[in-house]
Amino acid sequence: MRKTLKFLKSDPRYTLIFNEIKNFIITNNLQPGDKLPTEKEFTEQLGVSRTGVREAVKSMEALGIIEARAGQGMFVRSFNFDAILQNLSYSILFDRDDLASVLEVRKALECSFIREVIQKISQKEIEKLKRLLVKMKAKAEHGEHFAPEDSEFHQTIFKVVGNYLLLKLLYIFWKLLENARDETLIVEPDLVGSVARHRKVVEAIERKDVEAAQTSLFEHFESIEKRIEKATLRR
């Protein structure tokens, strides 16, 4: 039998309503996909205003705790990192001095996971990386940046690890650096050289040479680090 909600004698801030609804989910051991009471039912059982419930519900939706389905009601949502990662991406955008730190974390992640990549990657995925290199080279030779291909390149490599959080973090870090490029803070001056550095990573992966792959990644990131340092000195 489900436990009932605690009647709130006053009309508190929506944060108290938020906590009460969250406790209702926990104490009743509700699972992803389980249906929740309606806003009206929450209002009556808690003894609060409809507005307060609506604000609490919106906050819980934003955090990915519950989801509202049109014409069906509200349901408990599976836990995910989307809200956390979106907030991380948003907050970092306001502190450009952290670019070097962001890159350092990304470098550590990629160099750490590359061993597992080499253990799991298939020839089919390696061929995809080679096709991306062809596209990147064609653009570079025409003086065009290859941001979409660059993003897909790194995602393709680390997707084989099967770690959702890793992919989201790498995407956020990559996107932040790409935004900095768009603002001409760290524009790549040697596009052809960048393609060559990417190629060295693929060649090391194909040879299953972990040390060479890590070294190639370090060289790749070292180039970006130098540009960030120059951009910081210009400010």
Cβ-count burial of 99 within 10 angstroms (0-12 exposed, 13-18 middle, 19+ buried)? buried
Percentage of residues in the chain having pLDDT higher than 70? 81
Query: Nearest CA to 216 among 230, 199, 231, 233?
Result: 199
- What value does the mean pLDDT take over residues 9-37? 83
Question: Taking the model in full, what pTM does it have?
Answer: 0.64
Mean pLDDT of 10-31: 82
pLDDT, residue 81, reads 64
Instruction: Verify that 52 and 161 share a domain, yes or no.
Output: no
Q: Are 192 and 228 members of one domain?
A: yes
In a domain, 214, yes or no: yes
Is residue 23 domain-shared with residue 100, that is, in the same domain? Answer: no
Same domain, 111 and 181: yes
2 within a domain of the structure (yes/no)? no
| Residue 228: pLDDT band with limits 50, 70, 90 | confident
Distances (CA, A) of 18 to 34, 60, 200: 18, 7, 51
**Do 147 and 187 belong together in one domain?**
yes
- Predicted confidence at residue 82, as pLDDT, reads 66
| Model confidence pLDDT, tens digit, residues 101-114 | 878 888 999 999 99
- Are 116 and 157 in contact by the 8 Å Cβ rule? The answer is no
Tell me the pLDDT band of 231, cut-offs 50, 70 and 90. Answer: low
CATH code (residue 47) = 1.10.10.10
**Residue 30 domain boundaries:** 14-76
Q: Please, are residues 195 and 133 in contact by the beta-carbon 8 Å criterion? A: yes
Same-domain pairing of 92 and 180: yes
- The reported pLDDT for the residue numbered 171 is 82
| Domain membership flag for residue 188 | yes
